[in-house]
Chain A
Amino acid sequence: MAVNWLARLAAAAPAPVFTCIGPGIQAAVERLCLSPALDRVATPRAAAILLVAGEIPDHAQEALDRVHDQVPHPRQTFRWDGTGDPEPALRDLWRDLAAGGDTETDRRPDAPPNDWCGVGPHGQGGKGMMGGTPYGRPMAMTADDPRDGLALDAYTARLGPFVPMLPPGLVLEVTLQGDVIVSAEVRAAPFAQPDDASAPDFCAARMLRLVGLPRDADRVARGARLRAITALRAIPEGLGRHDGQDARGRLAGWLAGERGPEAAPALATLLPGLEWSEAMLVINSFSPATLAHVAISKEDA
């Protein structure tokens, strides 16, 4: 009784959905997530439903499984091919989950990525902070910092293909020191998306969401005109300058309904030296079509 009442109350909230977007379906998913019945969350940890949109290519399947396993129980996967309106089905699914419905088991093996090996009876150590592989991952080693040459730990990781703030499919291998990007390399190009994903409204909405204005982002994606002067001020001047226009200028252009530049510098030359938040703003200040073009031409080279 009490549980049912609580479950009904919980089910009235927007369904927390984490989206994994495949080729050709980005604009449709972003349009779907404008619905007040859905809450597009930033990490799988905050989600209950994993929305898999479109055909995920084979090379991204393992990454999809990894994201799937990070959704907390009870969880369900919902596959959508872009046709029809999936909202009623998603609402039903969320109602079941809120009442503690069925869950899905892990797809990846329940084992650490490496053996926890090191010096000592429990493999807990080595020399100073350098030894062992706690939780299956080796400790970071030092490298020269690009700012002032202090030798400090570098963190290398592959991001994507389902990071919400990057175009779907893009896999970036970045090396960070603190929050500064030391190097960046494109490992997989973004999935091909039709032209509607690069519409000025959607591009502007992505950037507004990134600077923390989700309501304004929704308004712009629905086609409302917005001056967003505060949002423009939130983006540092001169950031990601290309062809005489910086990230702020490109957002202003989108808000005025103009299409952005067709060409962009390679991400490997654009990102190093930027802080993480700046880098995400710079990437999102180019349309998905432009980024796909840049990444593919770089892979050919």
Chain B
Amino acid sequence: MTLVLVSAASIVLALGLSFLLMAPRHDAGTSAPMAAPFLGGGTPDTHAWQRFHFRAYTMTLVFIAFEMEMMFMYPWAVVFVEEGVKALAEMGMFLGILSVGILYGWREGVFRWQ
């Protein structure tokens, strides 16, 4: 009972204080000229929602390609002698798939040093 009374009182107090301290409101929402982007009085041609290039992504792609390669090559090297040609073919297929990613990165210009 006490808990209910105390929480009710504190809610009433918080609401009452916020109404009491509220500054008089002038604005009825945001008008179109107020919502426009600030360009020092200038105007934009287009909406600001646009696509731009996240340039680090090709680098992360190449990193993952090489890192995954190494991650699977260590256990593969352990069983390679037992498995023989079968393991070689499997790793060849895996590297083939990964190299597609590297080729894609190459096309995107990740190996061009700037």
Residues of chain A at the chain B interface (Cβ within 8 Å): 2-3, 6-7, 20, 43-45, 60, 62-64, 66-67, 69-70, 72-74, 100, 103, 106-113, 129, 133-142, 145, 148, 150, 152-153, 155-164, 166, 171, 177-178
Contact = CB atoms under 8 A, between A and B. Distances in A.
A110 B31 contact: yes
Contacts of A113: 32, 36, 43
A140 B32 CA distance: 20
Interface string B22-57: 011011000111111111111111111111110000
Interface of B: 20-21, 23-24, 26-27, 31-53, 109, 112
A72 B27 CA distance: 8
A145 B53 contact: yes
Given A2-B20, A73-B27, A160 B53 contact: no
Contact of B26 (A74, A111, A155): A74
A140 B52 CA distance: 11
Nearest to B41: A63
A157 B39 contact: yes
A137 B44 contact: yes
Contacts of B109: 148
B1 to A, nearest CB: 32
Contact of A135 (B20, B35, B39): B35
Given A134-B49, A178-B52, A6 B21 contact: yes
Contact of A153 (B20, B27, B52): B52
B42 to A, nearest CB: 4
Contacts of A103: 26
Given A162-B41, A166-B40, A111 B47 contact: no
